[in-house]
Chain A
Amino acid sequence: MGNILYFLARYNRIFIFVLLEITALSLVVSYHDAKRKTVFSFLNDITSRFDSKVSDIKYYFHLKSTNESLLAENARLRQNQPNAKWADTMRQVQIIDTTFKQKFTYQPAQVINNSTNVKNNYITIDAGTNEGVNSHMGVVSTNGIIGITRFSSGNYATVLSVLHKDFQVSAQILENDELGSVVWEGGSPDVVTLKDIPVHIILKKGWHVIVSQNSDAFPKGIPIGTIISFQTNGSEATYNVKVRLAASIRNVQKVYVINNILLDEKKALETKTLESNK
C-alpha cells in the first residue's frame, strides 16, 4: 500500500494529466454522439445571456440592412395581397373557403450568437421552449433559408446553420422543378452545393433554387439561392451545382422559426409504414 502511494506521489503529474485528458476526450466523444443532449445545457443559459448582451450592441450596426431586408419582404408580401391583383373578367364568384388550415406557424427571434468561420457553424437565437421552439424546426430570415434548430433551453435555442456538414435540405430548381439536395462543402460562407441533378438536365446561371415540398422543416418555396456555376462531376452522372445563398448567414440579425404543426402526424405515419415492412 505504501509503495502504491509513493508511486502515485512520485508520478502525480502524469496521473493528473491523463485523468484530465480522458475527461476532456470523453466530453469530445459524447458530444459527437448526436443522439445525446448537449453536455452543457444547464450552463448554456448563462453563456447565452452574455452573448445576448454582446449581440444587443452589434445589432445597432446592422439596423440599416435589417430595415432594408424587412422592407423588401414587405414589398414581396404586398404584391401577393388580393388588393394588388386585378381580375380580367367581370364575373365574380364568391366561395367560402374551408380548404386551407394552418400548417406552418412562424415565431420571430433575434440572433444573439453566430459563427461562419469554422467547419461546423451554429447560430444561437433568443427563442426557446417557452416560445414553443423545439429541435428540428426550420429557421429562415427575411431573405431565405438559415438552418434548423438543434437544441433548445427555456429562453434560447441553437441552430444548425446551413454552413454545417450535417445540414441537408431537399431543394428544387424553380425554373424546371428538378429536385436535388443542398449541402455545404466548406469554403466560402456564401456558396452552397446543390447535388443529385442529372447531367441531361439543362441548367442556366441565375436560376433560382428553392425548398422543395419534400422538406419537413420548411414550407415549399422558401428561397435558398441562385445558381452561379455548374460542372459535371468527372465520371458521375450528376452535376456539381454551386448556389449563392439568398440570405447572408454572416449578417443575419432577425429570423423566423417555423413550426410544422402536422409534422408529428407525418412522422408517426412514416414510422408505422417502415415498421410494417419488417
Chain B
Amino acid sequence: MSAFKTILYFFLLLLIQRIILDNLFIGEFERPFILFVFIIIIPNLPTWALLLIAFLAGLIYDIFNNTPGIHSFSSVLLAFLKDLSLPFLFDNEDEISLGISSKTFGFGRFLVIALVCSFIYNLSVILLTDFGITDVQDFATRLIFGTLSSTVLVYVFDILAFYRRKEAI
C-alpha cells in the first residue's frame, strides 16, 4: 500500500468515526472505535515511523474528540504490540510485507487478531477515561460491548476492502 493510499485510508476512517460512529447512540455503552483499524492495516514500516504515525493519528482524533492523550496513548500501545508480535504471526519473514488482513490470515485467524487488538484498544481507552476501575460491572459491560462492536467494524471494513481487491484481480 502506498503512503498516499494510507493517508487516504486514515482520513476515510476519521470521517466515518466522526460523522457516523460518534453520533451513534447505543444505550449507556461505549461507542465503537474504528480508528484503530488504521493501526492494523498500516503497512510494514520501520518501528519509529509506525509509532510516530500511530501517535499522530491518535492525536488528530483526540483533538476532534476533546480527549487529549487517551487515543494517542492507546494507538501507540497497539502499534508497539503489533510491531512486537508481527514476526510471530507470520511463518515466513517474506510474508510480513503483505500486512494484516483476512486475505493473508484467513477469516478465522484474522478474527482472533481483530478481537485481541480491539480488546487492548478498548481496555486502554476505558481505563484512561475513568482513571482506573470504579464500578466493576459497568467497566466489564463497556469493555465487552466496546470490544465486540469494534471487532464487527474491523470485519466489515476488511470484507469491503477484500471484495474490492477481488474485483481488481
Question: Are the C-beta atoms of A20 and B51 separated by less than 8 Å?
Answer: yes
Complex CA–CA separation, A250 to B23 (angstroms): 10
Known: A13-B80, A24-B72, A28-B128. A43 touches B58 (CB 8 A): no
Q: Smallest CB–CB gap between A2 and chain B, Å?
A: 21
Give chain A interface residues in 87-132, CB to chain B under 8 Å: 115-120, 122
Complex CA–CA separation, A179 to B26 (angstroms): 34
Question: Are the C-beta atoms of B69 and A26 separated by less than 8 Å?
Answer: yes
Tell me whether B87 is interfacial, beta carbon within 8 Å: no
Tell me whether B88 is interfacial, beta carbon within 8 Å: no
Question: Are the C-beta atoms of B51 and A16 separated by less than 8 Å?
Answer: yes
Tell me whether B4 is interfacial, beta carbon within 8 Å: no
Which chain A residues lie closer than 8 Å to B76 at the CB level? 17, 20-21, 24
Question: Are the C-beta atoms of A186 and B138 separated by less than 8 Å?
Answer: yes
Tell me whether A188 is interfacial, beta carbon within 8 Å: yes
**Which one of B60-68, B150-158, B159-167 is at the interface?**
B60-68
Which chain A residues lie closer than 8 Å to B69 at the CB level? 23-29, 31
Closest B residue by C-beta to A158 = B66
Interface size on B, residues (CB 8 A): 36
Interface size on A, residues (CB 8 A): 39
| CB 8 Å contact bits of B28-54 with A (1 = contact, 0 = none) | 111100000000000000011001100
In the complex, which of the residues A12, A30, A54, A188 contacts B28, with contact meaning CB atoms closer than 8 Å? Answer: A188
Question: Are the C-beta atoms of B77 and A21 separated by less than 8 Å?
Answer: yes
Complex CA–CA separation, A24 to B77 (angstroms): 10
Tell me whether A47 is interfacial, beta carbon within 8 Å: yes
Question: Are the C-beta atoms of B47 and A117 separated by less than 8 Å?
Answer: no
Complex CA–CA separation, A21 to B80 (angstroms): 10
Residue among A12, A51, A119, A188 with most chain B CB within 10 A: A119
Interface on A for B, CB 8 Å cutoff? 12-13, 16-17, 20-21, 23-32, 38-40, 43-44, 47, 50-51, 54, 58, 115-120, 122, 158, 186-189, 250
With A13-B83, A17-B80, A117-B29 given, name 10 new contacts (CB 8 A).
Answer: A24-B58, A24-B70, A27-B68, A27-B72, A28-B128, A54-B19, A58-B23, A117-B30, A189-B25, A250-B25
Q: Identify 10 residue pairs between A and B in the complex whose beta-carbon atoms are under 8 Å apart, listed by A's number.
A: A12-B47, A20-B52, A28-B128, A31-B69, A32-B131, A40-B68, A44-B63, A116-B25, A117-B30, A250-B25
